[in-house]
Amino acid sequence: MKLILIRHGEPDYSIDSLTQKGWKEADLLSERISKLSVSAFYCSPLGRAKDTAKATLQTLHAEAEILPWLREFHAPVDNGAGETKTIPWDFMPGYWTNQKELYDRDLWFENERMKTGPVKEEYEKVAAGLDEILKKHGYQREGGMYRAVPGSDDTIVLFCHFGVICVMLSHLLGMPAPLLWHGFFLAPSSVTTLETEERIEGEAYFRCKGMGDTAHLYVKDEPSSNSGFFPR
Instruction: Give 76-117 pLDDT, tens digit per residue.
Output: 999 877 667 899 998 999 999 999 999 999 999 999 999 999
pTM of the model: 0.97
Q: Tell me how far apart the alpha carbons of residues 115 and 129 are, in angstroms, rounded to a whole number.
A: 22
pLDDT at residue 85, rounded to an integer: 87
Give the range of the structural domain holding residue 28, as residue numbers without chain letter: 2-218
Whether 118 maps to a domain, the answer reads yes
Per the structure, the count of domains in the chain is 1
Whether 224 maps to a domain, the answer reads no
Whether 223 maps to a domain, the answer reads no
Taking only the tens of pLDDT, the chain with its 232 residues reads 999 999 999 999 999 999 999 999 999 999 999 999 999 999 999 999 999 999 999 999 999 999 999 999 999 999 877 667 899 998 999 999 999 999 999 999 999 999 999 999 999 999 999 999 999 999 999 999 999 999 999 999 999 999 999 999 999 999 999 999 999 999 999 999 999 999 999 999 999 999 999 999 999 999 999 999 998 8
Instruction: For 20-33, write each residue's pLDDT tens digit.
Output: 999 999 999 999 99
Q: Tell me how far apart the alpha carbons of residues 149 and 203 are, in angstroms, rounded to a whole number.
A: 9
Whether 232 maps to a domain, the answer reads no
Whether 229 maps to a domain, the answer reads no
Whether 231 maps to a domain, the answer reads no
Share of the chain above pLDDT 90, in %: 95
pLDDT at residue 80, rounded to an integer: 77
Question: For residue 129, what is the domain's CATH number?
Answer: 3.40.50.1240
pLDDT at residue 79, rounded to an integer: 82
Whether 179 maps to a domain, the answer reads yes
Q: Tell me how far apart the alpha carbons of residues 188 and 198 are, in angstroms, rounded to a whole number.
A: 31
pLDDT at residue 91, rounded to an integer: 92
Whether 75 maps to a domain, the answer reads yes
